[in-house]
């Protein structure tokens, strides 16, 4: 028996919302910014381990910026996901979800200070 699959839409909110150097707004991954996934060490690609943040590179001025996740939604309705873009969310992505992730999913990240106290992301299903 195969697991249930759904087409869903994911949006996210993170800080800072714009490049601190050139003020270019981070709206869409790969056109406004890219994720720095790793480094080349002794000729080999090594994934950079970061806890609670990621490094992004501005596509406009190539500045490196620490990205702190704040909140994310994964919803089954594209119209609802598009509406979340008007509430400060960015980076609308079409995703395939499997199993228990085939229902609407809301994440509130605790990395803005709560992680220091051992509290991770808070999630809820709607």
pLDDT in tens, 69-108: 999 999 999 999 999 999 999 999 999 988 877 889 899 8
pLDDT of residue 1: 55
The confidence band for 35, taking pLDDT boundaries of 50, 70 and 90, is: confident
Distance in angstroms (rounded) separating the CA atoms of residues 114 and 48 = 22
The confidence band for 13, taking pLDDT boundaries of 50, 70 and 90, is: very high
Residue 84, helix vs strand vs coil: helix
- Cis-peptide, bond into residue 16, ω within 30° of zero: yes
- Cis-peptide, bond into residue 89, ω within 30° of zero: no
Distance in angstroms (rounded) separating the CA atoms of residues 88 and 77 = 18
Domain boundaries, the chain: 5-125
Copy the structure tokens of residue 59. 């596509």
pLDDT of residue 126: 52
The pTM of this model reads: 0.75
Give the DSSP H or E segment for 57: strand 54-58
């Amino acid at each position: 028996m195969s697991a249930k699959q759904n087409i869903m839409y994911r949006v996210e909110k993170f800080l800072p919302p714009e490049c601190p150097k050139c003020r270019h707004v981070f709206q869409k991954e790969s056109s406004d910014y890219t994720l720095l996934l790793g480094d080349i060490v002794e000729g080999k690609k090594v994934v950079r381990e970061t806890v609670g943040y990621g490094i992004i590179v501005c596509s406009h001025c190539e500045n490196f910026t620490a990205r702190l996740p704040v909140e994310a939604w994964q919803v089954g309705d594209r119209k609802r996901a598009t509406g979340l873009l008007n509430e400060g969310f960015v980076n609308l992505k079409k995703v395939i979800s499997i199993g228990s992730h085939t229902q609407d999913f809301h994440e509130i990240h605790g990395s803005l200070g709560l992680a220091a106290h051992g509290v991770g992301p808070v999630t809820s299903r709607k």
